[in-house]
Amino acid sequence: MLLLGIETSCDDTAVAIVRDGRDVLANVSTNQDEFHRAYGGIVPEIASRAHLALLSAAVEHTLNRAQIALDACDGIAVTYGPGLIGSLLVGVATAKAFAYAARRPLYAVNHLHGHLFAPFLSHGESPPYPFLALLVSGGHTQLVAVDAPTQLRILGKTRDDAAGEAFDKTARLLGLGFPGGPALDALARDGDARAIAFPRYRPEGDALDFSFSGLKTSVRYFLERPENAAVRREDVAASFQAAVVDVLVARVAAAYARGSFRAVALSGGVAANSSLQSSLRAWAQRNGIELFVPSLAYCTDNAAMIAAAAEAQGEAVRVDPLHLSADPNLPFERIGSAA
């Protein structure tokens, strides 16, 4: 099955063509960092207008790179939530128009589910069911039991800031600009992760939840103290990053020990973080656990993962092109459209 995927939930204008949910024939993504950098974060109105200007050209470019015509695709897959409403509307409207004009099925994909299927792309092997997924991004941090493509259970989630949000805000405190996550990761490579004992959140009882707001506040207070003015930014970045990574790996280990999982998958924008990848790989290797991590191109928001999710979830996410609506607050539990 050959699917055209469209992803515009935030500020990445992304289009891809994927065969059988794993072979990526073309993957085009245009980020809008230059548009938003002056504001220190994503401006929703700017994001939606940029999608409007870029998306049609991105679709044409993707088809040309794959050397296929639109009517050669077996269906169109699109993110319809959650995300920024203006951005989602551009993608959904475009996908509906293409599906209707080409008389092809339309698949409505939950953006978060897309991240769960990113590890299936271009790998020699795919994660075997059931597997445990750590989905960690700018807006979400959660542990998910993936029992089957349409059987998903949240085991733990953030109680406040997502890990990616904490990275971006801490990067801003360190004067690293936008986007902050990759810049902080790069800075931390030259720092001492043991220089500062930032706190690690531990939930009460058997909970598997996360919390990063206290850690972010600790960094701010540390930087505001005059006696810490001479501390190297590299050491602050490395110590902060180590605290985040320690919490994430500890929750994965606790969740894995309680279930009957056959593998672990890492996905989401923060999956690109070098320290998180190396720490999780080391834990998996010590315990003889198979770990699946997407290549860098599929960690951040992309359309290939949307096509992969549509292929996996099949008829459960097939919708009528005339009735699909964008849903900025789409819950994780929703599979397919309620329309």
78 assigned to some structural domain: yes
**Residue 238 in tokens:** 């490395």
Other CB atoms closer than 10 Å to residue 271's CB: what's the count? 25
pLDDT above 90 for 7? yes
Same domain, 95 and 184: no
Q: What is the dihedral of CA 46, 136, 61, 47, to 10 degrees?
A: 0
Same domain, 232 and 307: no
**Omega before residue 130 within 30° of 0, cis:** yes
Same domain, 35 and 92: yes
DSSP 3-state of 16: strand
Tell me how many domains the chain contains: 2
What is d(CA 132, CA 182) in angstroms, rounded to the nearest whole number?
A: 25
What is d(CA 3, CA 73) in angstroms, rounded to the nearest whole number?
A: 6
Same domain, 97 and 16: yes
**Percent of the chain topping pLDDT 70:** 96
Same domain, 289 and 304: no
328 assigned to some structural domain: no
52 assigned to some structural domain: yes
Same domain, 59 and 19: yes
Same domain, 89 and 222: no
123 assigned to some structural domain: no
CA-wise closest residue to 181 among 70, 31, 48, 57: 31
What is d(CA 116, CA 181) in angstroms, rounded to the nearest whole number?
A: 21
Same domain, 274 and 312: no
124 assigned to some structural domain: no
- Give the CATH number for residue 52: 3.30.420.40
pLDDT digits (tens, 9 = 90+) for 60-117: 999 999 999 999 999 999 999 999 999 999 999 999 999 999 999 999 999 999 999 9
What is d(CA 258, CA 105) in angstroms, rounded to the nearest whole number?
A: 40
188 assigned to some structural domain: yes
327 assigned to some structural domain: no
Where in the sequence is the domain holding 269, given as residue range(s)? 129-294
CA-wise closest residue to 142 among 339, 282, 331, 338: 331
Same domain, 231 and 284: yes
Query: What are the backbone angles phi and psi of residue 53, rounded to the nearest 5°?
Result: -75, -30
Same domain, 250 and 311: no
**Residue 228 in tokens:** 């810490």
Same domain, 67 and 159: no
Q: Which of 255, 277, 294 delimits the end of a domain?
A: 294
> Mean pLDDT throughout 273-285?
97
Same domain, 144 and 194: yes
The model's confidence at residue 325, banded by pLDDT at 50, 70 and 90, is very high
109 assigned to some structural domain: yes
pLDDT digits (tens, 9 = 90+) for 8-65: 998 899 999 999 999 999 999 987 666 667 667 777 788 899 899 999 999 999 999 9
pLDDT digits (tens, 9 = 90+) for 137-174: 888 999 999 999 999 999 999 999 999 999 999 999 99
